[in-house]
């Protein structure tokens, strides 16, 4: 069995071919330029494997249309990314490759990868995967299925109680200002301090503020979904920063809902090297084959 | 078929017997006093119908233990209500009545009632029921099942962005201060204005502040779950107030996620006279019979 994975990010595309154990056999990546150029490269990559490829899954940046009955099912919809609004991503791939193709969001792909990477007996009934990077979002699995029928969740845009030392920061979301993404996405370091996050030591108070907001988002997920596990990926996340998030989470929750040991509940990905979405895509492609 | 319903609130218990069309055939209510007295009255009520009753469902105030493998399954756990912490509610009923008994939260019962009250073809895949009354909480249905495995959701305790005209109000939640319940539960009228909500006209600016917070909670549910419908019940809710909530929701969402007409999406209960939980209990009891 050969399975294909497209992790379509706003900055780069990662395409891979794997086997039914979800091992990567071949992999390529290229920058996200225009839809025409980027999707042509994607198609050309998979055409090489056309004779052996059984199924494919796409985990895409969004917003995307996921309602299978909608006229624009398979499109990237009203994204702020230039050139990409209303791109028929799935249709382009289906026209070129005569195999079953699964279509979901980038964070759903990563959530599924983290789910299947666990031994079957340890797979939680409910898992949330947050990415805190250039953008912020979450994929949510309940009983092995993604939440969201009217559309996919947009957890990056929830509002939060503001940190008392951060009340003057307006946030950077073009739609909502100080929603979660507007307060903690990677580019907020430039907006707050005039330099990128990699140049800001963890001892800087801005990291406490970031941890407070991210912990609050984890509290919201906990109180709303009662998931068994919340995984955090993306460029802003590191294990020392996770410790700050866990501390803030404990303070905010104040013992209200039992979640077990925080080192098991709020974790970094188990799949190494940002590979969660690739593993998730392989598993979702395999699921299409029944 | 005869089905029983216990709606166990912190102020009063409502017990009822209905048929398989969920019509109420008999109904009683009494104040919530001590567990011993209140549960004895409850048992005595259903003992009258012992020969005909096929199944029963309990929708209880909480927090409650819903994990069926937990030693305290069926208990009300660490409630702030005097005398009630760690009461074996389900066990007491099971010891007295030899029929299948369903056990869930008050808001889950109401959510299920609103779900089954709709004609089968119109039942949404996902529905949220909020109560905004003495306490605040929500029940969440996805594919006909309740969300929450580690425990039930505690949506009343999410944090919110504070309204600029309400920054001085500390909130009344003993655990979190200014969480959702701490900001919008019925008793906040006394805390903010020194008089009960029924004496505060809808033209008072406090209602705009309340609408802002409740709309934010609806935005959080929308962005996290993408439900098909959010129903609001409880003493604080009225149709004119719902209009304010819809206005604030539209402003906060800023067109970000499509939810259809707000008059269909954010609604009051379809079951009249606070009967949602009773109907939900009948349906959950019937479901136990397969």
Strands across the sheet with A2-8, in order?
Answer: A24-31, A12-18, A2-8, A53-60, A101-105
Q: Look at phi and psi of residue A108 and say left if phi exceeds 0, alpha if psi is from -120 to 50, else beta.
A: alpha
Domain that holds residue A168: 119-267
**Residue B114 lies inside a defined structural domain of this protein:** no
Q: Which of B125, B145, B223 sits opposite A153 (nearest CB)?
A: B223
For residue A260, is it within any domain? yes
Alpha carbon distance A280, B273 (integer Å): 47
Percent of chain B scoring above 90 in pLDDT: 93
Q: Is the pLDDT of residue B290 over 90?
A: no
Q: How many domains does chain B have?
A: 2
Instruction: For an interface test with A, give the residue of B256, B259, B266 to mutate (most A CBs within 10 A).
Output: B256
**The pLDDT of residue A149:** 76
Residue A114 located in a structural domain: no
Test mutation, A225, A228, A229, A259, chain B, max B CBs within 10 A? A225
- Same-domain check for residues B212 and B177: yes
Residue B103 pairs in a beta bridge with: B58
pLDDT digits (tens, 9 = 90+) for B1-47: 999 999 999 999 999 999 999 999 999 999 999 999 999 999 999 99
What is the reported pLDDT for A103? Answer: 98
pLDDT tens by residue, B127-172: 999 999 999 999 999 988 999 877 899 999 999 999 999 999 999 9
pLDDT of residue B43: 98
Same domain, A128 and A240: yes
Task: Give the pLDDT of residue B150.
Answer: 78
CA distance A153 to chain B (A): 5
Task: Find the CATH number of the domain harbouring B172.
Answer: 3.30.420.40
Question: Are A46 and A9 contained in the same domain?
Answer: yes
Q: Are B117 and B271 in contact (CB under 8 A)?
A: yes
Of B150, B161, B176, the CB nearest to A162: B161
Q: Is residue B196 part of a domain?
A: yes
**pLDDT of res. A285:** 98
* Interface contact B147-A224, CB threshold 8 A: yes
Q: Is residue B64 part of a domain?
A: yes
Contact A165, A205 (CB under 8 A): yes
- Do B139 and B164 share a domain, yes or no? yes
Q: What is the 8-class DSSP label of residue B161?
A: P
**Same-domain status, A202 and A105:** no
Per DSSP, helices labelled H in B117-204 are 180-184, 188-193
pLDDT at B18: 98
| Alpha carbon of A99: minimum distance to chain B alpha carbons (Å) | 29
Within this chain, do residues B206 and B261 fall inside the same structural domain, yes or no?
yes
- Show residues of chain B in contact with A252, CB under 8 Å: 159, 176
| DSSP annotation string for A108-168 | HHHHHHHHHHS-GGG--SEEEEEEESSSEEEEEEETTEES-SSS---GGG-B-PPPGGGTT
d(CA A65, CA A77): 7
> Which residues sit opposite A4 in a β-bridge?
A17, A56
In a domain, A217, yes or no: yes
Bridge-partner residues for B129, per DSSP? B139, B231
The answer to whether residues A149 and A223 belong to one domain is: yes
Q: How many CB atoms lie within 10 A of CB A123?
A: 16
Chain B nearest CA to A54, separation (Å): 30
Q: What is the pLDDT of residues B196-224, one digit of tens each?
A: 999 999 999 999 999 999 999 999 999 99
The pLDDT value given to residue A143: 87
Render each residue's pLDDT in chain A as its tens digit; 290 residues. 999 999 999 999 999 999 999 999 999 999 999 999 999 999 999 999 999 999 999 999 999 999 999 999 999 999 989 999 999 999 999 999 999 999 999 999 999 999 999 999 999 989 999 999 999 999 999 988 999 877 899 999 999 999 999 999 999 999 999 999 999 999 999 999 999 999 999 999 999 999 999 999 999 999 999 999 999 999 999 999 999 999 999 999 998 888 999 999 999 999 999 999 999 999 999 999 98
What's the complex ipTM? Answer: 0.92
Is 90 exceeded by the pLDDT of residue B255? Answer: no
A8 within 8 A of A61, measured Cβ to Cβ = yes
Closest CA to A179 of B256, B141, B53: B256
Residue A159 lies in a domain: yes
Read off the pTM: 0.94
Same domain for A90 and A123: no
Rounded to whole angstroms, the Cα distance separating B69 from B59 reads 19
B23 lies in some domain: yes
Residues of B in contact with A72 (CB under 8 A): none
User: Is the model's pLDDT at B174 over the cut of 80?
Assistant: yes
Residue B179 and residue B262 share a domain: yes
Cβ–Cβ gap B152/A226 under 8 Å: yes
Asked if residue A127 and residue A43 are part of one domain, the reply reads no
Task: Output the pLDDT for position A90.
Answer: 98
* Residues B61, B130 share a domain: no
* Residue A257, pLDDT score: 87
Share of chain B above pLDDT 70, in %: 100
**Do both B277 and B263 map to the same domain?**
no
Residue B107's Cβ-count burial label (10 Å; 0-12, 13-18, 19+) is buried
Residue B178 has a pLDDT of: 97
What is d(CA A127, CA B98) in angstroms, rounded to the nearest whole number?
37
């Amino acid at each position: 069995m050969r399975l294909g994975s497209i992790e379509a990010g706003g900055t780069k595309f990662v395409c891979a071919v794997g086997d039914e154990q979800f091992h990567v056999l071949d992999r390529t990546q290229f920058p996200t330029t225009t839809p025409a150029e980027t999707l042509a490269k994607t198609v050309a990559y998979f055409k090489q494997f056309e004779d052996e490829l059984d199924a494919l899954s796409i985990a895409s940046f969004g917003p995307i249309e996921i309602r299978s009955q909608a006229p624009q099912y398979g499109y990237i919809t009203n994204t702020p990314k230039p050139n990409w609004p209303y791109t028929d991503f799935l249709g382009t791939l289906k026209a070129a490759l005569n195999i079953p193709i699964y279509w979901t969001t980038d964070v759903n792909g990563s959530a599924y990868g983290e789910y299947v990477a666990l031994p079957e007996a340890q797979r939680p009934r409910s898992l949330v995967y947050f990415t805190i990077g250039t953008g912020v979002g979450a994929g949510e699995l309940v009983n092995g299925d993604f939440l969201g029928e009217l559309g996919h969740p947009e957890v990056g845009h929830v509002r939060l109680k503001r940190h008392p030392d951060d009340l003057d920061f307006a946030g950077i979301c073009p739609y909502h200002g100080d929603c979660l993404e507007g307060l903690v996405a990677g580019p907020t370091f430039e907006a707050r301090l005039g330099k990128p996050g990699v140049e800001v030591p963890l001892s800087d108070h801005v990291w406490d503020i970031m941890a407070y907001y991210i912990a609050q988002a984890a509290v919201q997920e906990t109180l709303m979904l009662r998931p068994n596990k919340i995984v955090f990926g993306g460029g802003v996340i590191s294990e020392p920063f996770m410790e700050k998030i866990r501390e803030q989470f404990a303070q905010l929750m104040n013992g209200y809902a039992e979640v077990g040991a925080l080192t098991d509940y709020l974790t970094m990905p188990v799949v190494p090297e940002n590979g969660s979405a690739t593993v998730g895509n392989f598993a979702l492609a395999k699921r299409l084959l029944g």
